[in-house]
A and B are shown apart, each in its own frame.
Chain A
């Protein structure tokens, strides 16, 4: 018997059951969803005990790790635990109430015991909604200056009140979004997902009894805490310092500083963001939950990614973020890009702090942006508006023993791409190119992975587009002598242009990567070229054969082989 009084066999069985239940909630979500965003897995599912501690979560979107718990806790506190009733279904998306950004809707189901006498826990999920109104179709206005421009904020409300669907609330909500059928379909998928989880929790209690289930949930949290503490103990004690920057905030072209000081002391991990810049006018601010999510992702990167995530993992980690900074912004600062962009810089700064202390765990920097590309217009063939949300993958950093992966979504998400043959059916688009971007990977003994070239032409109708991206000015860094990857670019070619030019230049935006409502006209081609990862180790130490293979494959040009690696692919003198 373990200290917790629940035998280790039951613990393992229940732990696996919670995991498969969270996974099953995800399956329900994907199969009932309307939008391709959800089928691309831009959502997370979780299970919570009666105190809203997370006890199980499915692996879909890393940045939702930990942060969903804050939304659930906030909702319970605001509505009041005593006001929760069987049959309730709560939803909310407020970044200032434990949320992440306005697009991420959390739907929460209080689960009562089968006889409805006691609150057992919660099932919840968080999903990215395609459009929540606001100043730009599909969200992600790169130059928003307050939360009101970013869309409609929904505080914790009961969309089902004791089993009664609140039609007025639906009407109100759906009148404020651009693609109501889509939004309704996806939110209904979120509800279905929670109901699946509820059924399974009831099965669990039926089998083991309420007391054992509660005890086991506690034991599982203690177990994850022990594993996390063991991992932290393996890190060398000391104080570590890391800094990284955002290119700009979309409103001015000043870079924005993220600074961390981390103390590892035995099995405790303390992180202090003192020195981080104040909150910005533009939409790269993080609510606290997003910053915390970034910290946990970084910690998973630096330790064992297989620990079953639950509230126990949070206990040895202490996060201090000065309020009023870009990582703990005060209302009503805009936050759309904090979740997808600045969160990555939190990870980058933390990883950077450990470059020398944990050389086997770190890598060159990854693409460093989600490269959010949104927009909308009137569909020429359908009598309705349309909106899109696309985000483009890039290269990952070189690692201690192999090259970085090419064309992978950033470290804060894990969604699939939108197939050309699906995109062209939904939108009046013609994809012109979608291929790897040669020479984008940062040179190194282990090269950074390659970004992509992704080009889309608007065929018909009126439209406009928005972007919220980063690492256009400051490229993904290399480590241990590795060189940076090539930075991101967002370009456009108008019908009469001979070549592509940066969107920022053509439309005179302050930022090259953050803007909104740029006109998109038939014949315009937008070209997104994403960053490669940073290299690991000195390029001069790269195996000559590997350089030659890279040239043969077209990953590296002959010129770059000569200049960056000192290798002449034409058979001349090499190093």
Chain B
């Protein structure tokens, strides 16, 4: 039996087929117009026996593309309390660029004609101030029901996290009057205080829902046609899988799933519980953090500036430095890198497809660090053109081509280091205890440069870094995240309040366990956490709440203790005498399974010594000049082999550049580990 992982990226769709003993990988071009075709193409390229497939795990950015490109999504009808229907357009009243007098505010996903306020009002304590005017709701819904058009309703009423009576009733009326319409309600999708963020999240869900449902149904149908009846699971933004039927219901949970599978793969293969992940592509780099074997997550996400979607997602710092990032000189004579990118088309100058401005990849070519014959697959790279472009730029700085190329890389490396600082030091985490796992097209090439300019002790390049995301799909857990605002000071938790809290938690646990009712899970566990803050403080800190249910007053006291500690770790001080309040409660249902035997890192082997793997030498340029540099073939390097930089390791289209003053070794799991030897700077 095998499991299939398929990851659809912007350019390529990757497939990993893994059984107990064997792993096969393929890349096929993505088909953006109809992404499921790319997935089916990949299945066919891999020539899998349909009867042997026991599970199909899938990462897709279909929802992301609908939301970001508005290509377009559904017609969303927004319903809320009378007087507040403009919340989607008022937004949070700040702006992206504060000195731009001509700033354009993003258009809301729902135009004003489709936003409706109906008489109704619930107070902050969950009491009904103005009863819902049901006739008004009915009138609005009937108007849409009479049209021959797919409608996706988004219902988000004030304080519905405290009392969802009105929202439930509105959903019932829609079901009566317009039964074929899609409905998303905020108490169901995202019951957190803060009316704009909640409304924005539920609207985004409604916006992508019809197309996402079509997509997953078509994909499952196509697979069945090919005789594949295995369960289909989809990757969410939180790095966990969910059965396809659950995703179809709340597809916004996949909006930020792009980086998730890669981080899941890095977590599994990185060989260390504490990792910084660096996924470097053509236009940008995503930096993430894994602590104690768990990727760090956040709920602060935006589909575009000012339009938040607040489901748990990998806490990524994205930086506009990728292989295609363009280097330029500003009017004041400073060298800059990015944020403009040559992308895949025209691509770097060396691709010879019309690019004229030098990129990070061109700098690597000028320095001899990339193999022009293999780096871009079948495409032979134009070294002379890259050199001329970099030299032209350098002329304006009074620097030669090599100096300029080194400068471009130094600026890019420091930008990456800044992103790493954001996910570590700024959150009270010391990066000196972390390994840097590099993947993506440009990650392995630059990670050794990053550790040189930062405090990170080692870079880790897993084997097959180009399909790490697809492999990650097969190694990650299932996960169903829920949240409920439950705002009150700790001192107010009497027995009644505890009962209320436990009722909420139990309801979430029941819902989550039902969602993960799927075959093949080894264990299903419940994780409880809470957002706490000092009373009236404007920001919360998330801490574990209890290991067992029901939650007791002792659990709350212990959570408060963890809160003080974590507050001090993050912000340098705590106030144990101050009142603490609970803001939100999180419930996660986690389902684990055993990854296919062939993806067990311990199962790796093969290859020979460094001497045997050394296939060539080439001149390459480093900070202290031009040096004869050994070239190693990655698949010939066995665990235990070791060599020193400068060295270049080639593996298909991935290149790892080990700098002078660094040492590389292959660890028992096949990872290439690069460390500083403590010698002089290079």
Contact = CB atoms under 8 A, between A and B. Distances in A.
Nearest to B539: A31
Given A8-B333, A31-B571, A39-B539, A415 B102 contact: no
Contact of A195 (B94, B411, B572): B572
A425 B538 CA distance: 12
A406 interface: yes
A16 to B, nearest CB: 6
A432 B414 contact: no
A569 to B, nearest CB: 13
Nearest to A449: B105
A557 to B, nearest CB: 13
Interface in A387-440: 393, 396, 399-402, 405-409, 411, 414-417, 419-422, 424-426, 430-436
A8 B335 contact: yes
Contact of A415 (B89, B94, B124, B336): B94
Given A363-B101, A425-B124, 5 more contacts: A301-B101, A393-B93, A407-B93, A430-B123, A452-B90
Contact of A11 (B100, B334, B406): B334
B158 interface: yes
A59 B100 CA distance: 12
Contact of B90 (A9, A39, A417, A455): A417
A305 B407 contact: no
A452 B90 CA distance: 8
B218 interface: no
Interface in B95-118: 95, 97-105, 111-113, 117
14 contacts: A7-B407, A8-B334, A15-B334, A30-B538, A31-B571, A39-B538, A195-B572, A230-B331, A362-B101, A409-B95, A415-B94, A422-B194, A434-B84, A436-B89
Nearest to A552: B113
B194 A407 contact: no
Contacts of B194: 419, 421-422
Nearest to B105: A405
Given A30-B539, A405-B103, A426-B536, A188 B113 contact: no
A36 B538 CA distance: 6
Contact of B333 (A2, A59, A433): A2
Interface of B: 83-87, 89-95, 97-105, 111-113, 117, 121, 123-124, 129, 158-159, 193-196, 329-336, 397-399, 406-407, 410-411, 414-415, 418, 421-422, 426, 487, 534, 536-539, 570-573
Nearest to B571: A32
B536 A182 contact: yes
Contacts of A32: 539, 571-573
Contacts of B87: 434
Nearest to A231: B331
Contact of A27 (B97, B101, B426, B537): B426
A435 B85 contact: yes
A375 to B, nearest CB: 17
B35 to A, nearest CB: 33
A424 B123 contact: yes
A208 B513 CA distance: 55
A16 B93 contact: no
A223 B573 contact: no
B571 A396 contact: no
A516 to B, nearest CB: 25
Contact of B410 (A13, A59, A424, A433): A13
A449 B399 CA distance: 49
B94 A409 contact: yes
B95 A414 contact: yes
Contact of B331 (A181, A192, A227, A554): A227
A466 interface: no
Nearest to A199: B425
Nearest to B337: A12
A414 B98 contact: yes
Contact of A34 (B89, B92, B426, B534): B534
Contacts of A430: 121, 123, 129
Nearest to B538: A39
Contact of A555 (B95, B112, B411, B571): B112
Interface in A42-59: 59
Interface in A335-387: 351, 361-363
Nearest to A60: B98
A223 B333 contact: yes
A228 to B, nearest CB: 9
Contacts of B124: 421, 424-425
B93 A415 contact: yes
Nearest to A394: B93
Contacts of A1: 398-399
Interface of A: 1-2, 7-9, 11-13, 15-17, 20, 24, 27-28, 30-36, 38-39, 41, 59-60, 62, 181-182, 185, 188, 192, 195, 223-224, 226-227, 230, 297, 300-302, 305, 351, 361-363, 393, 396, 399-402, 405-409, 411, 414-417, 419-422, 424-426, 430-436, 449, 452, 455, 552-555
Contacts of B99: 59, 62, 297, 300-301, 305
Contact of A363 (B86, B102, B329): B102
B183 to A, nearest CB: 22
B203 to A, nearest CB: 16
A408 B195 contact: no
Contact of B111 (A7, A396, A553): A553
A30 B540 CA distance: 11
Top 8 closest A-B pairs, CB basis? A305-B99, A39-B538, A433-B83, A9-B407, A300-B99, A301-B101, A435-B86, A226-B332
Contacts of A396: 101, 103
B418 A20 contact: yes
A569 B89 CA distance: 24
| A8, A16, A297 interface centre (most CB from chain B within 10 Å) | A8
A38 B536 CA distance: 12
A425 B487 contact: yes
A290 B93 CA distance: 23
B455 to A, nearest CB: 9
B101 A35 contact: no
Contacts of A449: 105
A426 B533 CA distance: 14
Contacts of A406: 89-90, 105
Nearest to A24: B426
A426 B117 CA distance: 25
Contacts of B410: 9, 13
B332 A33 contact: no
Contacts of B98: 59-60, 62, 305, 414
B84 A20 contact: no
B537 A436 contact: no
B415 A434 contact: no
Nearest to B572: A192
| B112, B159, B421 interface centre (most CB from chain A within 10 Å) | B112
Given A300-B99, A301-B101, A363-B102, A408 B93 contact: yes
A416 B103 CA distance: 16
Contact of B104 (A8, A60, A405, A420): A405
Nearest to B536: A34
A1 B334 CA distance: 10
B166 to A, nearest CB: 14
Contacts of A400: 102
Given A9-B335, A188-B573, A432-B83, A305 B330 contact: no
Contacts of B415: 16
Nearest to B487: A425
| B129, B195, B332, B421 interface centre (most CB from chain A within 10 Å) | B332
Contact of B193 (A402, A408, A421, A553): A421
Contacts of A432: 83
Contact of B95 (A16, A405, A433, A435): A405
A523 to B, nearest CB: 14
B539 A33 contact: yes
A416 B487 CA distance: 22
Contact of A421 (B111, B195, B538): B195
A34 B397 CA distance: 48
